[in-house]
Amino acid sequence: MNFIEERIVKDGIIKSGNVLKVDSFLNHQMDINLMEEIGREFKRRFSDVCVSKVMTIEASGIGIAAFVAKEFGVPLVFAKKSKSINVDGEMFVAEVESFTHKNKNQVIVSKKFLHEGEHILIIDDFLANGCALQGLISIAESAGAKVEGCGIVIEKGFQIGGRVIRNMGYRVESLAIIDAMDAEAGTIDFRAQD
Amino acid sequence: MNFIEERIVKDGIIKSGNVLKVDSFLNHQMDINLMEEIGREFKRRFSDVCVSKVMTIEASGIGIAAFVAKEFGVPLVFAKKSKSINVDGEMFVAEVESFTHKNKNQVIVSKKFLHEGEHILIIDDFLANGCALQGLISIAESAGAKVEGCGIVIEKGFQIGGRVIRNMGYRVESLAIIDAMDAEAGTIDFRAQD
């Protein structure tokens, strides 16, 4: 097991309905040492690509992505969720359905901060059905930027998102891929990775 | 001028209605070097107090607060905004009115992550009418934690928030305090600080 898988086993809480709570270290309370380690690990995994900007979506992706951006020495842009578009200037917009909250959000990034020819690394905490990630990819492509890859902390491998995004031709690196969870037994199966 | 004031003058955009846009470096695109410098500066300003946890509110506070937490070597907890409370376990809740979006949000923190006897440093990007900050303070106090101080990147000194919070007896350190802005002339007056 790698450091993320170990931490999930130690501190993650499996709930019924394939819910994994990692709010004690990742997306409510944040273990900053872990964030730094995640930053270093994505730098290592994407050391072969040119990255000019890291991109994520608010809110829980921001902390993680900030430490990845630090490792690459590049700026971070985070997409904002907006129900009512009330923003001046021009925006790239994508519509994203939330699995957790069962609603639709518009996801927006100012055109000032994404440009043609940029090399984008997208970072997020979870990949499940892939809607958020597809929205971010769509926004980056609208800008004429190149998505060099997607770095995910926890992928729910039993949901469709990872397969969809990889089938679209994008490189997805997930630090932990969960193939199955059993709330009653309290067990998690991780997919073997190189 | 300190480094934040200089950056505001260089890259901030003053809009009518006392709106200051700093989305090119602080709250949409983030300059990570600046975040690190902000982390170090708050560590310097609050070097005389014991801090066991940094607290902020999603979304744009997270990146800043993460680098402050890194400097102090403590975890970060970020409060979540929620219209419909749909969370398991017990939560501390405060009601917060948003000046920008003209709506009310419930701000929540899990009782698992705030405890009696903790020493809290609250961090946020903006202080204007002070509602978000009051919500965070109220949540920390509900937990029986002690608010050791509030670190703000940009305080709109012509709005009431800073005065209210300081009058409540809390220490507020703002890296830049704006006393007046003129959108037409493009000028900003910063309050002199020691």
pLDDT score of B103: 76
d(CA A174, CA A193): 9
Beta-strand relationship, B76-82 and B53-57: parallel
Q: Which of A62, A68, A102 to mutate to test the interface with B (most CBs of B within 10 A)?
A: A62
CB-CB neighbors (< 8 A) of A103 in chain B: none
| ipTM score of complex | 0.93
| pTM greater than 0.90 (yes/no) | yes
Task: Give the Å distances, CA to CA, from B168 to A68, A175, B16, B94.
Answer: 38, 45, 31, 17
The two three-digit tokens of residue A184, written as one number = 């009653």
d(CA A194, CA B14): 51
Residues A152-184 have pLDDT tens digits of 999 999 999 999 999 999 999 999 999 999 999
**Minimal-distance CA residue of chain A relative to B29:** A77
* From A15, A62, A80, residue closest to B62, measured CB to CB: A62
**Above 90 in pLDDT, residue A84?**
no
Residues A8-20 have pLDDT tens digits of 999 999 999 999 9
pLDDT score of B156: 97
**Above 70 in pLDDT, residue A101?**
no
d(CA B75, CA A33): 9
> Taking residues A53-61, what's their average pLDDT?
96
Q: Determine which helix (DSSP H) or strand (DSSP E) holds B13, and give its type and residue range.
A: strand B13-15
CB-CB neighbors (< 8 A) of B23 in chain A: 110, 112-113
d(CA A180, CA B5): 51
d(CA A84, CA A118): 28
pLDDT score of A97: 78
Give the three-state DSSP class for B190: strand
d(CA B96, CA B124): 14
Q: In angstroms, what separates the C-alpha of B49 from chain A's closest C-alpha?
A: 20
CB-CB neighbors (< 8 A) of B30 in chain A: 66, 69, 75-78
The two three-digit tokens of residue A54, written as one number = 């890291």
Instruction: Please identify every stretch of chain B with a pLDDT value under 70, giving residue numbers as ranges.
Output: 83-89, 98-101
Are A8 and A22 in contact, with CB atoms under 8 Å apart?
yes
Q: Mean pLDDT for chain B?
A: 94
pLDDT score of B63: 97
pLDDT score of B83: 65
% of chain B at pLDDT higher than 90: 88
- Which residues neighbour B44 within 8 Å (Cβ) at sequence distance 6 or greater? none
Contact A62 B63 (CB under 8 A): yes
> Taking residues A41-69, what's their average pLDDT?
97
Beta-strand relationship, A146-156 and A119-127: parallel
Contact B59 A80 (CB under 8 A): yes
Could you count the other beta carbons within 10 Å of the beta carbon of residue B179? 13
Give the three-state DSSP class for A170: coil
pLDDT score of B96: 84
Are A49 and A121 in contact, with CB atoms under 8 Å apart?
yes
Task: Give the Å distances, CA to CA, from B181 to A5, B41, B100, B127.
Answer: 50, 25, 17, 15
